[in-house]
Structure 1
Amino acid sequence: MSLSTPQSQLDEDRDRIVDSNDDEVLFCDEDEETAPQTTDILQTETAGATETEVWKVIIVDDEPSVHRATQLALKNFRFEDKPLSFYSAYSAEEAKQLISIDHPDTTFILLDVVMETNDAGLRVVRYIREELKNQHVRIILRTGHPGEAPEESVIVNYDINDYKLKVELTRQRMVTTAIAALRSYRDIITIEKQKQELTQALEHLQQTQNQLEEYAYMLEMKVAERTVALEKANQELYLLANLDGLTGVANRRCFDEYWQKQWQLLAEQQQPLSLILIDIDYFKNYNDRYGHQAGDECLQIVARTISNVLKRPTDLVARYGGEEFAIALPNTPLAGAQQIVQAIASEIGKLNLEHTHSPISNHITLSLGISCTIPNPNTSWKSAIAIADKALYQAKEDGRNRYCVFGEPSMPLVP
């Protein structure tokens, strides 16, 4: 019988097999074999090849002839340009040592079922799969006693990859079995490698993500810091733009903007809007007598006193000129504005700020003009300011230290 390999039964992997021995190899029944003369582990490696350049194969059988026949059948076999390297064991214990300690990277095992016991090979299968957790090696069971290990029962109950009867193993079938086992092992290793690479890639991605999250956190913190700094800078700009640098109350620009907004709002609501203009009496004389530094301190005290009198958040006091202050009182009728005037005069009187160069008093006094109107959207917001200014002028003309509502007689202030 010819053992030439039919090309129609092998794929491109088999095309790489180099073979010069076409003699048929048959395994005879184990009952006809003589007992082995030694139990030493036999190793046959390809000369000059390293472990990474060969496919490792373990032959486990208590019959030496089986080892010889197997190696003869696969003597010149190559798969993907790599030869086989054979390692022989003649008992289950020797097989366990080879696969667990010496050669855990074995590609496939040709394993006899019946050796020192009827189930020795099956015990090796369970040892490999369950104890060693080795799922890579391909396990091919071979038996000369099929009655001891029925094929269907073994395949169902044991994690093996093939089951062969020794009497059926010709060289052609041995080659086919080897190719199938090597191809399966190669694919498993490839998948395992790809899994490892994927795991490494995922770990790298996770590391990158962690770095990005850390960077994003740091960036967020920097943005928060910059935001705080920007808000602080904006606040400082706001203060510079809207507050009087000397007294700390609103400046003329801020007052005008606020007055316009309240004028429009209360025109829609048809509610009263009151304005008080305040002038420190004979303040030039005060500066001439006590000096400009004292004059600045006086302005600060007066501004602070006025601010303390105002209780509502909508009320606004501003430095309107050199020694002039303006108070906006939204939703305040004339009577309410007059009460504010009297409260301010009372608090200023309590300060008892000396002013010996005032023709009307030995202490700081104020003159005040009041306007109160329900804003008209068709009337300029400046009109109420002009009315309050005229009332202030009238209070000065009438002797100062008094307040005036435009169109009415001025009234002296009661300290």
Structure 2
Amino acid sequence: ILHSVLLGLSMGAIAYLSTSLVVYISYLLTMVAPMTLWLFFQQTPDGYVLTVLYIFMICVGSMSVKRMNVLLNDALYYRFDNETLIEDLQKLLDSVSRSNKALEKISTTDELTGVSNYRAFRVRLEEVWREYQETTSPISVIRLNVDYYHEYNAAYGQELGDKNLCLIANLLLAEINHPSQTVARLNGAEFALILPGVSCENARLLILRVQKELDKLQIEHCKSKAGQHLTFSAGLSSQLATPMTSSRELLGKTDNALKLAKNKGRNRIEVIE
């Protein structure tokens, strides 16, 4: 019974002492070494057999603990290695996400003025059109063009011309009071505004305020045929969004309104409802 208990304790210790081979061997020698030596010095057949059995169990137990120790260390290593890998992967994904957002911003932002570009304008207008098909609120769009902009650049230089485009963009942004509203530079000296839920009259008053703010600045333009200062022409239109209509119809009316303003001498606002 004593031999069974000692051997059982020796083998059972493998489970909870496998983290350290040195600790297990120390425990094993403490438990069975005295009994092994005592049996050996009895110099009896049974004593020799039991001595060999104890030595065999010591070897088997030691090899088992060594193997389990290796497996446990590998498991811990790979666990922490995987955690590190997951952290690195998450950092990489976050970096890619930030890069994608930056690229998206670059692809939808006008480099000079910082407002939306033509691509973003068209995408946003389609989004608004779909959203407002379930409402009875109109969508207003304003298009404006700086009068005789190329002549201004020829007389005063591209740098000053660009500076004034940024100024006009900021005047337009100052009138935006809702996240759904958009200011965009379409090309050259042409800008546009998307005003969801804004009536035609309120849109007219908005662009009129911008026109007055620009007039206050009295920016000299000696090559303009519309006056002595920098001005713009604007056309606007409003329309209800329905499944039977498209945003192109609204853009077409807005474009015609802008052409009408230019044909009437510029430096004016025209409305086509």
Matched ranges for 1:290-369 at <5 A: 290-369=156-235
Where does 1:59-98 land on structure 2 (aligned, <5 Å)? none
Partner of 1:249 in structure 2? 115
171, 182, 189: which one aligns with 2:58: 189
Contact 1:334 1:372 survives alignment (8 Å): yes
How big is the shift at 1:193? 1.9
1:15-26 correspondence runs (5 A): none
TM-score normalised over the length of structure 1: 0.52
Task: Show the 5 A alignment for 1:27-38.
Answer: none
Alpha-carbon contact 1:275-1:326 (below 8 Å) kept = yes
Instruction: Give the deviation of 1:370 after TM superposition.
Output: 1.2
**Bigger-Rg structure (1/2):** 1
Deviation digits for residues 69-102 of structure 1 (CA, Å, limit 9, x no counterpart): xxxxxxxxxxxxxxxxxxxxxxxxxxxxxxxxxx
Q: Give the 3 Å change call, closer, same or farther, for CA 189–210 of structure 1 in structure 2.
A: closer
Distance 1:401 1:366 in 2: 5
Amino acid at match of 1:325: F
For 2:221 and 2:120, locate their aligned partners in 1 and report how far apart those are by CA, in whole Å. 31
Residues 194 and 225 of structure 1: CA distance in aligned 2, closer, same or farther (over 3 Å): closer
Q: Is there any run of 5+ residues in structure 2 with no aligned partner, and where? A: 1-28
* Equivalent residue letter for 2:153: N
Q: Deviation at 1:327?
A: 0.4
Give 3-state SS (helix, strand or coil) of 2:187's partner: coil
Does the CA-based 8 Å contact 2:218-2:230 persist in structure 1? yes
Of 211-220 and 307-316, more deviation after overlay is shown by 211-220
- Structure 1 counterpart of 2:55, one-letter code: R
Q: Write the distance in 2 (CA, Å) between the matches of 1:139 and 1:216.
A: 45
One-letter amino acid of the counterpart of residue 209, structure 2: A
Which residue of the partner structure matches residue 250 of structure 2? 384
Q: Could you tell me whether the CA contact under 8 Å between 1:267 and 1:374 is conserved in 2?
A: yes
TM-score, structure 2 normalization: 0.76
- Secondary structure class of the residue paired with 1:326: strand
1:218–1:252 Cα change, 3 Å? same
| Aligned equivalent of 1:262, options 103, 109, 128 | 128
Decide whether the 8 Å contact of 2:113 with 2:165 is kept in 1. Answer: yes
Q: 1:139 to 1:217 in 2, by over 3 A?
A: closer
Correspondence for 1:137: 34
CA contact (8 A) 1:280 1:365 kept: yes
Correspondence for 1:374 among 240, 247, 253: 240
Contact 1:273 1:333 in 2 (8 A): yes
CA–CA distance in 2 between the matches of 1:395 and 1:406? 11
The structure that is helix-richer by fraction is: 2
Give the Å deviation of 1:228. Answer: 4.2
Once the two structures are superposed, residues 272-311 of structure 1 have per-residue CA deviations (whole angstroms, 9 ceiling, x without a partner) of: 1110111112222212211222222221221122123212
Q: Relative to structure 1, is the Cα distance of residues 195 and 321 closer, same or farther in structure 2, using a 3 angstrom cutoff? A: closer
Q: State how far apart, in whole Å, the 1-side matches of 2:233 and 2:264 are.
A: 10
1:146-189 CA-partner distances (Å, limit 9, x unpaired): xxxxxxxxxxxxxxx9xxxxxxx9x9xx43x3245325423542
Judged with a 3 Å threshold, the aligned counterparts in structure 2 of structure 1 residues 349 and 220 are, in CA distance, closer, same or farther, namely: farther
The amino acid across from 1:265 in the alignment is E
Look up the match of 1:65: none
Q: Is the 8 A contact 2:142 2:236 kept in 1?
A: yes
Cα shift readout 1:246-290 (whole Å, capped 9, x = no counterpart): 222211122111111211221133431110111112222212211
- The structure 1 segments of at least 4 consecutive aligned residues displaced by more than 4 Å after TM superposition are none
3-state DSSP class of the match of 1:310? coil
Q: For residue 404 of structure 1, give the secondary structure of its aligned residue in structure 2.
A: strand
The change in CA–CA distance for 1:133 and 1:375 in structure 2 (over 3 A counts) is same
When the two chains are superposed, the root-mean-square deviation of aligned CA atoms in Å is 2.9
Q: 2:173, 2:183 within 8 Å by CA — same for their partners in 1?
A: yes
Residue 350 to residue 221, structure 1, CA distance change in 2 (3 Å): farther
User: Identity over aligned residues, as a percent?
Assistant: 27
2:104 maps to 1:238: yes
Identify if the C-alpha distance between structure 1 residues 195 and 223 changes in structure 2 by more than 3 Å, giving closer, same or farther. Answer: closer
Larger mean CA deviation between 300-309 and 258-267 belongs to 300-309
